[in-house]
Structure 1
């Protein structure tokens, strides 16, 4: 079994776990929770770029994405930001579902898995 490395961690979670050439990102939410779904999605994906780069990966190496939306009516707004971010990169396997969050101002949460 390969080494397990944990990065950007606290007592509750590791923001990134790396194992056998795969990076697992925790669910990401926007820091600015006063914005709408599109802007929260953009901020999350910018954060994902930084985290992926920190372990030698990038969006072209995405394997899986799990996306949770507070309101499924925001599906199109989230998708527009998502497709713009992918910018022609081959998309990962993906699931998007509606969810309730502990903080009501969270509109979207995204969890990613990528090759390194």
Structure 2
């Protein structure tokens, strides 16, 4: 059975759960020009999405961060290091990409439930 967690747009889910695995995606609700602020907002959304799916950051297997400005990666790393469950660090990749609008970060996580 596949459980889809509705997103803010009807044609997209903010999370999908199947076979004990949850995948979720988010951007920051805060669209400031500050990478640190946007990453903190996105990670807070990841926490909410995972909780809604019956999981938590301690159960994240992989995370892919899509970063609009790789020169701001130190700010991304700072926010990540403050947030991550240091006892259960996931595999993480950061890719430089062009993002829509004022988004500086988009994060996809896969976790167990």
Q: Same fold (TM over 0.5)?
A: yes
Aligned partner of 2:20 in structure 1 is 21
Aligned partner of 1:112 in structure 2 is 109
- The alignment covers a number of residue pairs equal to 112
Query: Which of 74, 77, 80 is 2:78 aligned to?
Result: 80
- Give structure 1 regions of 4+ aligned residues with deviation exceeding 3 angstroms: none
Give deviations 1:29-81, integer Å, cap 9, x for gaps.
11110240001000111111111111110000001100011110011100000
How many Å separate the matches in 2 of 1:23 and 1:106? 23
How many Å separate the matches in 2 of 1:11 and 1:50? 19
User: Unpaired segments of 5 or more residues in structure 1?
Assistant: none
Aligned partner of 1:54 in structure 2 is 52
- SS state at 1:66 partner: strand
Aligned partner of 2:67 in structure 1 is 69
User: Unpaired segments of 5 or more residues in structure 2?
Assistant: none
Q: Does 1:6 align with 2:8?
A: no
Query: Post-superposition shift, 1:11?
Result: 3.0
How many Å separate the matches in 2 of 1:102 and 1:50? 23
How many Å separate the matches in 2 of 1:16 and 1:49? 12
Task: Give the alignment's Cα RMSD to 1 decimal.
Answer: 1.2
How many Å separate the matches in 2 of 1:87 and 1:17? 22
- SS state at 1:38 partner: helix
